[in-house]
A and B are shown apart, each in its own frame.
Chain A
Amino acid sequence: MKRDLVIIGGGPAGLAAAIAAYDKGVRDILVVERESRPGGILKQCIHNGFGLTRFKESMTGPEYAQRFIDEAEKRKIEILTDTFVTRLTDKKEVTCMNERGIFTIQARAVILAMGCRERSKGALNIAGTRPAGLFSAGTAQKYVNLYGMLPGKRVVILGSGDIGLIMARRMTLEGAKVLCVCEIRPHSSGLRRNIAQCLDDFGIPLYLQHTIVEIRGKERVEGVVVAAVDKDKRPIAGTEKVFECDTVLFSVGLIPENELTKGAGIPLDGRTKGCTVDGDRETQAEGIFACGNVLHVHDLVDFVSEEAEIAGSAAAEYLFGGERQKRLIPVQAGQNVSYVLPQRLDAASESPQKLYFRVTGAIKNAVVRVEGGDGVREWKKIAVAPGEMEHITLPPAYFREAEGLCVSVLAQEA
C-alpha cells in the first residue's frame, strides 16, 4: 500500500497536521489512530481552559478536539481507528496492525504525532509497599471521566503537574477528600491558573519541597509518609508526617512517546526526549516530521495545534517540491534555558521563525536574549516560569548570515 502522507496519531497534533497538509493541497492522507475515536488525550480532559490562545474562548478538551475532528471530516480526511503502528523505518515504511491484520504502508512523507506518556511511579524508587490504589494522574482521570468511577476517597497527590492539579479538583467535586499535593521542587510545575482554581478554591494545601518517602498498606493503600526535602531533594530526617489515605496519584512529568522513532533510528534530543527538528519540524530523517507532545511536552494544546500546522504545511511542501535546499544552523539553549525548539533553523528561510523555549527556573522581569545573528536581540518578559513555555519570533534578516544562534534568559537589571 502506498500513501502520500501518513500521520501517526489522531490526537490534537495529528488532526491539525492533517488539516494543514490538506489545505496546502495534499489529498492522499491517512491518519492512523490506535484508539477507537480520534481526539487523543483530550477525550478525557473534560475540564475547561483549552483554546484561550487560539480561539479566544475557554473550551473543554472534547470541545477543542471536536473542532478539529469536524474540520477533518469536512475535508474527508481518512482516519484509520483501532489501528496500532508497530514499526517505522527511516525509509518511511509504516507497519500497522488492527483486527484485519498486519500491513505495511510505503509513505512519501510521515508526520509523527504519537503524544506522550506519564512518567510512572516506578521510576521514582519510593520506599514501602506496592498495593492497589497507586495511579498516575492520567489513569485516574480516565477512570473518573470516561468510566465514571472514583478510584478512592482519601487522596494524596505527588507532583504538581497540571493533570494532578486538575484531578485534585475533579475528585474533590466528586466527593473525595484530597489531603495535599506534594511537589519535590521549590516551584510548581503546573499552570498558575490551576493552582488557584484547583487547589486554593478547595483549600487543598500544596507542599513545595516535599515528597512521599514511603507508601504503606498491604492490599490497598493505607497511608503515605511525607517529608520535606533539602535543596538536593534529599528527605530531611525528622520532618516526616503520616497521611492516612486510600489513593495516591502521581503527576510527576510527561515523556514523549518515541519508541517508534527510536526503532527507526531517528536521533532524539536528550533534553526534550523528542526528535531534533528544524523550523519545518522535519526530523533528521528526510520526509519525516514531528509535532505535538511527541516532539516536546507542551502545557497548552493551542501551541500543539500551531506546531502541528507548521509540520503539516511543511510536509505538503516537501511532497510537492521535494527536500528544499536548507542551510541549517544550530540553535542553542543558553543561560537559564532548558531547551529551545527547533534545535536547528534554516538560515536560508524567507519567513520569520518562531523559537519556543522553556526556562530552568522562575524569573521576574526577565530579558530574553538572542545572539549569533545580526547583533543581539532582546525581549522583555514580565515573568517566566518552567511550567509555561515561552516563544519569540525572529525576522529572516536576523539569521540570514548566522552560523548558529543562542537563546538565554537573564534577570533584568534594576
Chain B
Amino acid sequence: MYDVAVIGAGVVGAFCARELKKYDLDVVVAESADDVAAGASRANSGIVHAGFDAPAGSLKAKFNLEGNRLMEEVCRELGVKFYRNGSLVLAGKGQEEQLRALFERGIQNGVTGLRIVGREELAAMEPNVAEGAQSALYAPTGGIVCPYGLTIAAMGNAMDNGAALECGFKAVSAERCKGGWTLHAASGKTLSARIVINCAGYGSEQVAALFGDSSFRIGARKGEYMLLDRSCGGFVRHTMFSLPTAAGKGVLLTPTADGNVLVGPTSVEQAEYDTSVRREGFDDIRAKACLLMKDIPFSQTITSFAGVRAYSDRHDFIVEWSAACEGLFHVAGIESPGLTSAPALGAYAAKQVAEKLGAGKNSTFDPVRRPQHWFRSLTDEEKNEVIARRPEYGKIVCRCEEVTLGEIVDAMRTNPPARTLDGIKLRTRAGMGRCQSGFCQPGVFDILRSEYGLQADEVTKNGGKSFVIAGGEL
C-alpha cells in the first residue's frame, strides 16, 4: 500500500507528487491518459501570472502570488526555461479607471513593481503595440514558462526521487480498505493508498463522486490558440493582455519560452471534453489580437490547437480535505492562474497530507533534474565532448528544431519516459517546428519501434488507439 495516491498527472498532480517526495512518503501518481500533461497542462497560455487579477483574499490570489515567487527557483532546480518577460494590460481611451482598479487590486494582492505606463513608454516597450492602446498596467513579475515542459520535469523529478507513475489508469471506483482506499481502474488494475489526492482536472468532479463526495461541480471551457513560427520571435517581448472581463482574461499575445509567438485563447463553454478548434475561433482570435498588436504575422501560423480548462462552481480553487470522505484531499477547480500556482498548491497539499500522516522529511530528496534542453544550450566545444562520448548526439533527426538522436533516446530513458510520437515531441521539440513533423515523423517512428520493440501498427501518436499506420505493411 502506498502512503499517497495522486490522481492526475497534470501540472498540479506532478507538483503534488514532487512535493510529497520531500517527505518520507511512498507516492504513486495514477493518470488516465498514456502520458503526463495530457489535458489542460498541455494546451494553455504558459503564463506565469503576476497576480493582480484574482479577487483579493481569494485562494487564487494567495497561491498565484506564492507560485509566482517560487517559480524561479523551481524552474532552476527542474531545468525548465522560465523568463520574467513582464506583462502589459492594455487600456484604450476611456478605460483608465478600469486599469487603475486593476492596479489597486494588484497592490492589495501584494504584487510588486506594478506601475501604469503611458503611450510613449508603451510604444517604446512594444513597438508593434496597437494604435488604440493609450496606457498599460506593467507587471515586471509576470513571466512565461513551457507548461508541459514544467509538468514533465516536475513529474520526472518526483519519479527520480522514487514516486511511481501509472499511466493508462482510469479510476472507475474507489473502495475503503484497511487503513485507506483501493482504486480500481477500467483496465482492471488496482492501487491502494492511505490518502488520495484528487488532481484530476476536468475529471475531478467524477473522481470526487467515486468517493461519494458531491460538494462541487466542474465545468469546462475551451480555449483555442494559434501558434506562430519562431521566425516571429522578435515581434513581441511582453505578454500582452486586454482588460479582463467577466469571461476571463481574454485573448492574449505572448512570446513563448521556446521562442514562438502564441495568440489566444478563446473561451467557449463546453458540455463535454472537446479539444477541436473552430473556424469562428480563428476569426475571434484574429479580431481580438488586433486590439493588442498591429501587423500580427498570422501568415506564419504553424499550428492551432485547443485546451479545455476546468473551472468549479465555487469560482475559486478548491484546496481542502473532503468533508464527505475521510482520507481524500481535493486540489480541484484549478483554472487560471493554475499553472503559476501549481508549485505552491503542491507544497500546500503535501504539507497537509504529511501532517495528517505524521511523515517526517525525506533527507535524500534531490530537487535537481538535468535541464530539459541541456544539449542545445552547450557551446560547440562542449557539444563536441558529448558527441565524442555519445555519437548519437551528433545526428540530427528533426531538422526544423535541430533535435538530435541522442536527445530522443534520452527522452525515452528519462523519467517520465516518452512512449509516443507526441511524447517525444513534448520532451524534445522534435516535430514542433515549421514543417510540423513532415520530415522527422518517420524517423521518430523508427526510433520508438526499435526502443520498445513495437510492430509497425503499434506505434501511436498519443496513446490509446491513435495508431500512426492504419493500413498495415505492404
A and B: direct contact (Cβ < 8 Å)? yes
Task: Using CB atoms and an 8 Å cutoff, list the residues of chain A in contact with chain B.
Answer: 34, 82, 84, 86, 95, 97-102, 117-118, 120-123, 125, 127-133, 135-136, 138-139, 142-144, 146-153, 171, 174-176, 213-214, 219-220, 235, 246-247, 259, 262
A143 to B396, CA, bound (A): 19
Is residue B284 contacting chain A, with contact meaning CB distance below 8 A?
no
Please tell me if the beta carbons of A125 and B395 are within 8 angstroms of each other in the complex: no
Q: From A36, which residue of chain B is reached at the shortest CB distance?
A: B395
B384 at the interface (CB under 8 A from A): yes
**3 residue pairs, one from A and one from B, having the closest CB atoms:** A150-B471, A122-B303, A120-B436
Q: Which residues of A contact B395 (CB under 8 A)?
A: 82, 84, 98-99
- Let me know if A34 and B276 touch, CB within 8 A: no
Contact flag A99-B392 (CB < 8 Å), given A121-B436, A150-B474:
yes
Q: Which A residues are in CB contact (< 8 Å) with B303?
A: 120, 122
Task: Contacts A102-B384, A102-B394, A220-B465 given; indicate if A149 touches B438 (C-beta within 8 A).
Answer: no
Residues of B within 8 A of A129 (CB): 275-276
Q: Which of B384, B436, B470 contacts A133 (CB 8 A)?
A: B470
Q: How far, in whole Å, are A152 and B275 apart by their CA atoms in the complex? A: 23
Interface residue B370 (Cβ < 8 Å from any Cβ of A): no
Task: Name the residue of chain A whose CB is nearest to the CB of B470.
Answer: A152
Q: Are A132 and B442 in contact (CB under 8 A)?
A: no
Asked if residues A219 and B278 are in contact (CB atoms below 8 Å), the reply is: no
In the complex, A147 Cα to B444 Cα: how many Å? Answer: 13
Instruction: List the A residue with the shortest CB-CB distance to B395.
Output: A99
Query: Which residues of B, 362-413, contact A by the 8 Å Cβ criterion?
Result: 380, 383-384, 387-388, 391-392, 394-396, 399-400, 402
Expressed in whole angstroms, the minimum distance between the Cβ of A81 and any Cβ of chain B is 11
A149-B456, A152-B471 given; name 20 further pairs at CB < 8 Å. Answer: A34-B396, A82-B395, A99-B391, A100-B394, A102-B380, A102-B384, A120-B435, A121-B436, A139-B441, A147-B442, A148-B473, A151-B469, A151-B470, A153-B470, A171-B471, A176-B471, A219-B466, A220-B467, A246-B470, A259-B400
- 8 pairs of residues in contact across A and B, judged by CB atoms under 8 Å: A84-B395, A101-B384, A102-B383, A144-B474, A150-B472, A150-B474, A171-B471, A174-B471
B471-A100 in contact (CB<8A) = no
- Which chain A residue has the least Cβ–Cβ distance from B285? A125
Count of inter-chain pairs, beta carbons less than 8 A? 145
> In the bound complex, what is the Cα–Cα distance between A142 and B396 (angstroms)?
18
- The docked-state distance in angstroms from the alpha carbon of A152 to that of B384 is 42
Contact partner of A220 (CB less than 8 A), chosen from B388, B466, B472, is B466
Whether a CB of chain A sits under 8 angstroms from the CB of B468 is: yes
> Are A132's CB and B392's CB within 8 A?
no
Q: How large is the interface on B (under 10, 10 to 19, 20 to 34, 35 or more residues)?
A: 35 or more
Task: Report B400 CB to chain A, min CB distance, Å.
Answer: 8
In the complex, whether B21 has a CB less than 8 A from a CB of chain A is: no
- A148's partner among B304, B396, B474 (CB-CB below 8 A) is B474
Residues of the B chain whose Cβ atoms lie less than 8 Å from the Cβ of A86: 396, 402
> Are B436 and A132 in contact, CB atoms less than 8 angstroms apart?
no
Which residue of chain A has its CB nearest to the CB of B299? A123
B residues in contact with A133, CB < 8 Å? 470
Establish whether residues A127 and B278, one from each chain, have CB atoms under 8 Å apart when the complex forms. Answer: yes
- In the complex, which residue of chain A has the Cβ closest to the Cβ of B392? A99
Cβ–Cβ < 8 Å partners of A102 in chain B: 380, 383-384, 387, 394
Interface presence of B321 (CB below 8 A): no
Which of A122, A176, A213, A247 makes the CB contact (< 8 A) with B302? A122
Of B278, B387, B456, B465, which contacts A100 at CB under 8 A? B387
CB pair A138–B438 under 8 Å, yes or no, is: yes
A95 to B380, CA, bound (A): 10
A97, B394: Cβ atoms closer than 8 Å: yes
Chain B contacts of A144 at CB under 8 A? 474
Contact of B471 among A82, A142, A151, A259 (CB under 8 A): A151
B277 close to chain A: CB less than 8 A: yes
Chain B residues, CB < 8 A from A98: 394-395
Asked if B470 and A125 sit within 8 Å, CB to CB, the answer is no
Q: Across the interface, which residues of B come within 8 angstroms of A220, CB to CB? A: 465-467, 470
Determine the chain B residues whose CB is within 8 A of the CB of A247 once the complex forms: 470-471
Q: Does B279 contact A (CB under 8 A)?
A: yes
Complex contacts, B383 vs chain A, CB 8 Å: 97, 101-102
**Taking the complex as formed, is B69 at the interface, i.e. its CB lies under 8 A from any CB of chain A?**
no
- Asked whether A122 lies within 8 Å of B304 as measured between CB atoms, the reply is yes
B427 contacts A by Cβ under 8 Å: no
- Measured between alpha carbons, how far is A118 from B328 in the docked complex, in Å? 51
In the bound complex, do residue B396 and residue A149 qualify as a contact, i.e. CB atoms below 8 Å apart? Answer: no
Asked whether, in the complex, the Cβ of A101 is within 8 Å of the Cβ of B470, the reply is no
B282 at the binding interface (Cβ < 8 Å): yes
Shortest C-beta distance, B472 to chain A (Å), equals 6
Q: State the Cβ distance, B293 to closest chain A Cβ, in Å.
A: 19
* A110 to B422 Cα, complex, angstroms: 37
CB-nearest residue of chain B to A250:
B438
Q: Whole-angstrom distance from the CB of A294 to the nearest CB of chain B?
A: 13
* Chain A residue, CB-CB nearest to B471: A150
